[in-house]
A = this chain, B = another copy of it.
């Protein structure tokens, strides 16, 4: 079926959000770990994580200033530090629950365990098989709708193996704000030449 901008505008807001967050296709889903200047920890699910470069390794993620994610943004601005922790099937319910508006730490609220590494302010999630830490490089305004791209440099990673296999790691994909997928490899293709 065909949908035009008029159809989008006529949809119920939740239906439009569902469609808009499904159209890009499957997305990453990580828990973002941060810590405030006062030491309060925070965990928030983000699906807008994008690779930006490899030398150095840079990643971007999108945040809205007006949501629960503002703890995450404020902590990143204050400390320059955050972690990304892959969501796996064994922890999907706890990870999803981190999107609720808790007054305190999502670690305490969900029972996920925080661990630390020397020299890194932000907490890691023990239950994640793949986790890495970033340092703030840039905060880029997206004028169209007031969102921001948070750009970070990867300074540390903990992975099962350098040849990182997402299926072995149990990493999930996501879509919309509510759906999680496991993965089956259908193709690994050589570098394409004409």
Contacts and interface: CB of A to CB of B under 8 A. Distances in A.
A161 interface: yes
How many copies of this protein are present in the complex?
2
Given A24-B50, A25-B173, A166-B175, A13 B55 contact: yes
B158 A149 contact: no
A28 B186 CA distance: 15
A89 B186 contact: yes
Interface residues of A, number: 105
Interface of A: 1-5, 8-9, 11, 13, 15-30, 47-60, 62, 64, 84, 86, 89, 92-93, 96-103, 109, 117, 130, 132, 137-138, 140-145, 147, 149, 151, 153-164, 166-167, 171-173, 175, 177-194
